[in-house]
């Protein structure tokens, strides 16, 4: 559990970061909280000759809420999310999710930016951001661009971010209606056996819109448009729930690991989604 030697940088502005990234290409990695990257380096599973610490950069730790959207800087920690009252009022699903990530010590260090940028299918924020239709701001040598969370993930640890880009912020359209983040895990600190993020609105007793994403059930987070669509226009009755679960199962692709075999994971994914929908619906 001792990493190979590496150069450590702590630039004071983004330009300095980009410069280092351009110079070292994929030999360089940026680090926010470090709670995914450092263990990988200690296990010598990640070879990072040049480590760029973002903690010296100001302006990446803000949470701003306006009438249409929420902007969360990449260095905002899970604990910041949990403790921010206005944020909890504007998008309560963020607090509900963050409280289910790891443990308090990790949440004090782990950041939103790191969680979404790392591309680990076990992370909870990517699925949540897909559910919320967030977009990620990337800054590189050619300036700034935004990529939708739903388009960002390509494979495990592979994302739309170029090697010389830094993810600086997450922008979330103000969510409406009921919400739920439901997660089954073996113990504190574990990744999900299955987790579901649901955001749902209703008009009268009819579902007006729904958004569903699943965590750790494929090599990337899974936004299930089909499952979302299955609920719209229904009264979220048993038939609609069955349809949504069925649609979701068509979109996920879990693999066997120590949490259990595929059949178990699929079954639990269905149960968890059903519960998430019902909780979100009850809050809509």
Partner 1 sequence: MKDEVESRDDRVANLKGMGCSRKRVEDARFTQGKGNYVDDIKLDGMLFGDFVRSPYAHARVVSINTEEALKVPGVLAVLTAADLEPLGLHWMPTLAGDKQMVLADGKVLFQGQEVAFVVAEDRYAAADGIELVEVEYDELPVIVDPFESLKSDVVLREDLDPKADGAHGPRKHHNHIFTWDAGDKEPTEQVLAEADVVATESMYYHRTHPCPLETCGCVASMDKVNGKLTLWGTFQAPHAIRTVVSLISGIEEHNIRVISPDIGGGFGNKVGAYPGYVCSVVASIVTGKPVKWIEDRMDNLMTTAFARDYHMTGKIAATKDGKITGLHCHVTADHGGFDACADPTKFPAGFMNICTGSYDIPTAYLEVDGVYTNKAPGGVSYRCSFRVTEAVYFIERMIEVLAIELNMDATELRRINFIKKEQFPYKAALGWEYDSGDYHTAWDKALKTVDYEGLRAEQAQRVEDFKAGKTRTLMGIGLSFFTEIVGAGPVKNCDILGLGMFDSCEIRIHPTGSAIARLGTISQGQGHATTFAQILASEIGLPADSITIEEGDTDTAPYGLGTYGSRSTPVAGAATAMAGRKIRAKAQMIAAYLLEVHDNDVEFDVDRFVVKGAPERFKTMKEIAFAAYNQAIPGIEPGLEAVSYYDPPNMTYPFGAYVCVMDIDVDTGVPEIRRFYALDDCGTRINPMIIEGQVHGGLTEALAVALGQEIAYDDMGNVKTGTLMDFFLPTAWEVPNYETDFTVTPSPHHPIGAKGVGESPHVGGVPCFSNAVQDAFRPFGNRHTNMPHDHWRIWQTANKLGLHG
Rule CB under 8 A: choose which of 184, 199, 215, 218 binds partner 1: 184
Q: Give the nearer residue to partner 1 in terms of CB position, either 89 or 188.
A: 188
Rule CB under 8 A: choose which of 25, 26, 267, 282 binds partner 1: 267
With CA atoms as reference, report the closest residue to 64 among 56, 74, 72: 72
- At its nearest, how many Å lie between partner 1 and the CB of residue 284? 23
- At its nearest, how many Å lie between partner 1 and the CB of residue 105? 11
Give CA torsion, residues 109, 115, 118, 120, to 10 deg: 110
- The site string for partner 1 over 190-209 (x = CB under 8 A, - otherwise) reads xx-x----------------
| Residue 122 CB neighbour total at 10 angstroms | 16
Size of the residue set binding partner 1 (CB under 8 A): 23
Q: Which residues, 227 to 266, sit near partner 1 by CB under 8 A? A: 258-261, 264
Pairwise CA distance, residues 69 & 238, whole Å: 33
Q: Three-state DSSP class for 201?
A: strand
- At its nearest, how many Å lie between partner 1 and the CB of residue 158? 22
Helix (H) or strand (E) segment spanning residue 140: strand 135-140
Rule CB under 8 A: choose which of 8, 45, 187, 204 binds partner 1: 187
- The site string for partner 1 over 20-59 (x = CB under 8 A, - otherwise) reads ------------------------x---------------
SS (H, E, C) 208-260: EEEEEEEECCCCCCEECHHHHHHHCCCCCCHHHHHHHHHHHHHHCCCCCECCE
Helix (H) or strand (E) segment spanning residue 135: strand 135-140
Rule CB under 8 A: choose which of 1, 45, 67, 85 binds partner 1: 1
Decide if 215 contacts 192 (C-beta within 8 A): yes
Q: Give the nearer residue to partner 1 in terms of CB position, either 103 or 142.
A: 103
Only one of the segments 88-96, 153-161, 181-189, 195-203 lies at the binding site for partner 1 (rule: CB under 8 A); that segment is: 181-189
Pairwise CA distance, residues 251 & 111, whole Å: 28
- Measure CA 45 to chain center: 22
- At its nearest, how many Å lie between partner 1 and the CB of residue 20? 23
- The site string for partner 1 over 97-126 (x = CB under 8 A, - otherwise) reads ------x-----------------------
Rule CB under 8 A: choose which of 180, 272, 273, 277 binds partner 1: 272
| Residue 107 CB neighbour total at 10 angstroms | 20
**Under the rule (CB under 8 A), what is the footprint of partner 1?**
1-2, 4-5, 44, 103, 184, 186-191, 193, 258-261, 264, 267-268, 271-272
């Amino acid at each position: 559990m001792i990493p190979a030697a590496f150069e450590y940088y702590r630039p004071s502005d983004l330009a300095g970061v980009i410069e280092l990234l351009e110079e070292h290409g994929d030999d360089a990695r940026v680090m926010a909280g470090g709670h995914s990257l450092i263990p990988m380096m200690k296990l010598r599973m990640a070879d990072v000759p040049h480590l760029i610490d973002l903690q010296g950069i100001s302006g990446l730790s803000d949470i701003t809420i306006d009438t249409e959207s929420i902007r969360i800087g990449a260095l905002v920690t899970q604990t910041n999310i949990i403790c921010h009252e206005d944020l909890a009022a504007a998008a309560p699903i963020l607090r509900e999710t963050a409280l289910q990530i790891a443990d308090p010590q990790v949440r004090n260090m782990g950041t939103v930016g790191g969680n979404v940028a790392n591309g680990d299918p076990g992370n909870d924020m990517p699925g949540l951001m897909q559910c919320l239709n967030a977009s990620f701001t990337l800054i590189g040598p050619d300036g700034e661009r935004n990529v939708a969370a739903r388009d960002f993930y390509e494979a495990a640890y592979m994302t739309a971010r170029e090697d010389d880009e830094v993810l600086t912020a997450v922008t979330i359209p103000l969510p409406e209606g009921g919400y739920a983040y439901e997660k089954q895990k073996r113990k504190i600190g574990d990744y999900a056996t299955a987790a579901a993020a649901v955001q749902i609105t209703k008009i009268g007793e009819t579902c007006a819109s729904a958004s569903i994403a699943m965590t750790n059930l494929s090599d990337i987070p899974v936004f299930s448009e089909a499952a979302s669509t299955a609920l719209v226009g229904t009264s979220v009755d048993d038939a609609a729930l069955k349809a949504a679960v069925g649609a979701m199962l068509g979109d996920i692709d879990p693999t066997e690991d120590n949490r259990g075999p595929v059949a178990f994971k699929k079954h639990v994914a269905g149960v968890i989604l059903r519960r998430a929908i019902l909780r979100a619906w009850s809050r809509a």
